[in-house]
Amino acid sequence: MIAKSGMRATKNHVAAESREKLVAMQNGLLAALTDLHSQLKQAHWNLRGPGFIALHEMFDEAAGEVTGYIDDVAERIGQLGGLASGTVRDAAAATPLAAYPEGLTEQAMTIEVVSTALAETAKRTRQAIDDADNLGDQVTADLYTEITAGLDKTLWFVESHVG
């Protein structure tokens, strides 16, 4: 049953007012991660040039990792009694990331665009660690720490392709 606030009743020990704020915050992160995933796939599909295969495979692997983060965040929203807003339309309406440039195939610019999207998403998850902790939810803070570590590692891999 859905409560008036849009939250489901749960025996989860995180305070109800904190859970509502956490769900809103996590839906924002879900939008960013969904957009990041689509940008990584766009880079994977359209990249051209001499370093193609290494970058092609790296972007695909990174997109797979982001898929896991998306699932983890959406499931955490449910654990807190919320509803995940995870459609492509939801993501497009709420993403904080810059749009992926249409027609981009060139390697150096692709690396720049992808690294910027990764860095922005990691910046937001890093801030969310503190926000979740301040709201009394160390489990969500730990989840964000894990996601941020993964995003930082992927950013390092992508930036390592810059001469």
pLDDT tens track for 76-126: 999 999 999 999 999 999 999 999 999 999 999 999 999 999 999 999 999
Please answer whether residues 100 and 42 qualify as being in contact, where contact means their C-beta atoms are separated by less than 8 angstroms: yes
pTM of the model: 0.94
pLDDT at 163 over 80: no
157 vs 162, higher pLDDT: 157
pLDDT at 155 over 60: yes
pLDDT at 157 over 80: yes
Q: In angstroms, rounded to a whole number, what is the distance separating the alpha carbons of residues 154 and 22?
A: 26
User: Helix, strand, or coil here: 47?
Assistant: coil
Per-position DSSP letters for 108-128, written without gaps between them: HHHHHHHHHHHHHHHHHHHHH
pLDDT band at 1 (very low <50, low <70, confident <90, very high): very low
Query: Which has the closest alpha carbon to 73: 119, 109, 37, 104?
Result: 37
| Straight-line distance from the first to the last Cα atom of the chain, in angstroms, rounded to the nearest whole number | 55
Please answer whether residues 141 and 20 qualify as being in contact, where contact means their C-beta atoms are separated by less than 8 angstroms: no
pLDDT at 11: 87
User: Helix, strand, or coil here: 14?
Assistant: coil
pLDDT at 5 over 60: no
pLDDT band at 3 (very low <50, low <70, confident <90, very high): very low
How confident is the model over 127-145, as pLDDT tens digits? 999 999 999 999 999 999 9
How confident is the model over 22-67, as pLDDT tens digits? 999 999 999 999 999 999 999 999 999 988 999 999 999 999 999 9
Tokens representing 39 are 């940008």
pLDDT at 4 over 70: no
CATH match for 16-160 among 3.40.50.10860, 1.20.1260.10, 1.25.40.10, 3.40.140.10? 1.20.1260.10
